[in-house]
């Protein structure tokens, strides 16, 4: 196991600060920690409001932190599922595709976890909330957070039905609101708007701080919400950044990466996925900043453990990032590579069911069968595994091929 330290003298500095405070003199009055009783509201029909009371962490409390925080980036292929554990408190961010539900449930059960204090469904795409209904149906969940957006897919309906059947309280995320996970503090960074054209941008982004350990989780957020996040008066610096949108070149902008300034980056991505994730451009961006990279497609489930000072991983970072990316190819060649690995009509998903591959036109927002004679130019294409995925992102069916 490889130990990585970012601040070797932080603890000494904190202790010196405490000594200075004590030497100046203690006040006779003992003030109670400030309590922020801000309520996070949800306005969707038939959903119950969850109230969260948050206590601010004092310098003395930070210095007394004991134990660890564990962040499990579960290998669910071309999807997301992240389990955060601090003491006896757990939080789950997403649960992979529909076919990953049992995998995620078993992973949680094998850790001896009987209930989840928080579950976050970052946004309604199947590769993020597909397994959430299995989690909700099989594990006790205390609070669930989902963005204020709707979807007509069966996957989304399954999750909503599971929530309703369990009588769960649903919280709509509000930027800047905080809540506790054991001794860790969680801050909601996004979504910052209620009207996006792309469902990815509704993603709930989260920052978790445990002592000096800081983590940022970006869901599938792209450039626009990254820019909005930076416009808020919230510190986004972190030791570990879970990259947005599986390392796509539509996320992790130069400016955002500079502000977060992570030491480590984690990419949740499927091996040999048809989207070309992660992007070579993003890998180069990370490499130029000497950011250590971890990837689920080549390393499996990745576990980061923080003790409030240092962070260690269950695997070593990828030492030579060029060995896991395509070398010396142009953007045009990348398009050709993507097309060459796509099947002519059928793809196999994790449930061993065949589904048609749909191709969208980024300009017209129409989607087609891959056999359609009106397919867009390769540079204007976007690929969908299901019809629901295409319609949920605002694409309309082509009138010629009737997908």
- Angle in degrees, CA 253, 254, 260, rounded to 5: 85
CA distance 49 to 42: 6
How many CB atoms are closer than 10 A to CB 212? Answer: 19
Range of the domain at 55: 32-324
* CA-CA-CA-CA torsion sign (229, 210, 147, 49): negative
In the predicted model, is pLDDT for residue 257 greater than 50? Answer: yes
In the predicted model, is pLDDT for residue 316 greater than 50? Answer: yes
Q: Are 291 and 375 part of one and the same domain? A: no
* Per-residue pLDDT, 356: 59
* Per-residue pLDDT, 49: 35
Q: What is the rounded average pLDDT of the residues 170-186?
A: 96
Q: What is the rounded average pLDDT of the residues 19-32?
A: 34
* Per-residue pLDDT, 320: 56
* Per-residue pLDDT, 265: 98
* Per-residue pLDDT, 150: 84
Residue 17 in any domain: the answer is no
* Per-residue pLDDT, 387: 84
Q: Are 266 and 310 part of one and the same domain? A: yes
* Cα 238 off chain centre by: 14
End-of-domain residue from the set 259, 293, 324: 324
* Per-residue pLDDT, 353: 34
Q: What is the rounded average pLDDT of the residues 164-189?
A: 96
CATH assignment of the domain containing 363: 3.40.10
Q: Which two tokens stand for residue 104?
A: 């995620």
In this predicted structure, which of 34-38, 165-169, 305-309, 368-372 has the lowest mean pLDDT?
34-38
Whats the size of the chain, residue-wise? 403
CA distance 246 to 149: 21
Q: What is the rounded average pLDDT of the residues 325-338?
A: 38
Tell me the per-residue pLDDT of 263-287, one tens digit each, with 9 for 90 and over: 999 999 999 999 999 999 999 999 9
Q: Are 62 and 182 part of one and the same domain? A: yes
Q: What is the rounded average pLDDT of the residues 207-217?
A: 98
In the predicted model, is pLDDT for residue 171 greater than 50? Answer: yes
Residue 224 in any domain: the answer is yes
Distance set, CA 310 to CA 71, 236, 370 (Å): 14, 19, 49
Q: Which helix (H) or strand (E) holds 288?
A: helix 280-288
Residue 27 in any domain: the answer is no
Q: What is the rounded average pLDDT of the residues 61-75?
A: 82
The model's confidence at residue 342, banded by pLDDT at 50, 70 and 90, is very low
Q: Are 246 and 380 part of one and the same domain? A: no
Residue 393 in any domain: the answer is yes
End-of-domain residue from the set 306, 324, 342: 324
Q: Are 65 and 156 part of one and the same domain? A: yes
Number of domains making up the chain: 2
In this predicted structure, which of 167-171, 251-255, 294-298 has the lowest mean pLDDT?
167-171
In the predicted model, is pLDDT for residue 62 greater than 60? Answer: no
Tell me the per-residue pLDDT of 230-243, one tens digit each, with 9 for 90 and over: 999 999 999 999 99
* Per-residue pLDDT, 395: 83
**Residue percentage of the chain with pLDDT more than 70:** 75
Q: Which of 10-14, 213-217, 384-388 has the highest mean pLDDT?
A: 213-217
Q: What is the rounded average pLDDT of the residues 376-403?
A: 80
**Strand pairing partners for 64?**
none
**Rg (Cα) of the chain, in Å, rounded?**
22
CATH assignment of the domain containing 284: 3.60.15.10
In the predicted model, is pLDDT for residue 354 greater than 70? Answer: no
In the predicted model, is pLDDT for residue 253 greater than 70? Answer: yes
Q: What is the rounded average pLDDT of the residues 380-402?
A: 81
Residue 4 in any domain: the answer is no
* Per-residue pLDDT, 64: 59
**Strand pairing partners for 83?**
72, 92
The answer to whether 208 and 117 are in contact (CB under 8 A) is no
* Per-residue pLDDT, 341: 33
CA distance 313 to 371: 45
The answer to whether 379 and 312 are in contact (CB under 8 A) is no
CA distance 202 to 121: 11
Residue 368 in any domain: the answer is yes
Beta-strand pair 354-356/115-120: unpaired
In the predicted model, is pLDDT for residue 14 greater than 60? Answer: no
Average pLDDT, the chain: 80
**Backbone phi, then psi, for 337, in 5-degree steps?**
-60, -45
pTM of the model: 0.69
* Per-residue pLDDT, 45: 36
Residue 403 in any domain: the answer is no
Q: Are 224 and 345 part of one and the same domain? A: no
Q: Are 232 and 366 part of one and the same domain? A: no
DSSP for 293-308? EEEHHHH-SEEEEE-S
Q: Are 252 and 362 part of one and the same domain? A: no
* Per-residue pLDDT, 367: 86
Residue 20 in any domain: the answer is no
Q: Are 233 and 285 part of one and the same domain? A: yes
Higher-confidence position of 292 and 383: 292
Q: Which helix (H) or strand (E) holds 167?
A: none
């Amino acid at each position: 196991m490889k130990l990585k330290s970012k601040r070797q003298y932080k603890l000494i500095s904190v202790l010196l600060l405490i000594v200075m405070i004590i030497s100046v003199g203690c006040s006779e009055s003992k003030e109670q920690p400030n309590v922020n009783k801000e309520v996070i509201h949800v306005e969707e029909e038939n959903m119950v409001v969850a109230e969260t009371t948050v206590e601010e962490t004092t310098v003395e409390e930070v210095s007394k932190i004991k134990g660890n925080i564990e962040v499990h980036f579960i290998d669910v292929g071309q999807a997301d599922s992240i389990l955060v554990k601090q003491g006896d408190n757990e939080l789950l961010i997403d649960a992979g595709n529909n076919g990953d539900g049992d995998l995620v449930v078993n992973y949680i059960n094998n850790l001896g976890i009987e209930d989840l204090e928080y579950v976050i469904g970052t946004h309604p795409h199947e590769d993020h909330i597909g397994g959430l209904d299995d989690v909700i149906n099989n594990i006790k969940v205390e609070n669930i957070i989902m963005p204020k957006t709707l979807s007509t897919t069966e996957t989304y309906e399954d999750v909503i039905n599971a929530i309703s059947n369990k009588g769960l309280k649903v919280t709509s995320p509000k930027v800047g609101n905080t809540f506790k996970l054991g001794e860790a503090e969680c801050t909601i960074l996004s979504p910052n708007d209620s009207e996006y054209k792309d469902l990815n941008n509704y993603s709930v982004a989260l920052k978790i701080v445990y002592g000096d350990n800081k983590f940022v989780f970006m869901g599938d957020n792209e450039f626009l919400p990254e820019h909005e996040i930076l416009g808020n008066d919230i510190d986004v610096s972190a030791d570990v950044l879970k990259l947005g949108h599986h390392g796509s070149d539509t996320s992790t902008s130069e400016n955002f990466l500079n502000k977060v300034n992570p030491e480590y980056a984690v990419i949740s991505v499927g091996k040999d996925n048809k989207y070309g994730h992660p992007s070579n451009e993003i890998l180069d961006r990370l490499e130029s900043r000497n950011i250590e990279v971890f990837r689920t497609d080549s390393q499996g489930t990745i576990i980061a453990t923080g003790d409030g000072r240092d962070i260690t991983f269950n695997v070593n970072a990828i030492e030579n990032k060029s060995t896991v990316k395509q070398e010396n190819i142009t953007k045009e060649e990348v398009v050709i590579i993507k097309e060459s690995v796509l099947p002519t009509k059928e793809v196999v998903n994790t449930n061993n069911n065949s589904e048609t591959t749909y191709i969208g036109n980024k300009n017209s927002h129409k989607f087609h069968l891959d056999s359609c004679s009106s397919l867009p130019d390769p540079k204007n294409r976007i690929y969908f595994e299901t019809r629901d995925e295409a319609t949920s992102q605002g694409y309309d069916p082509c009138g010629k091929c009737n997908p």
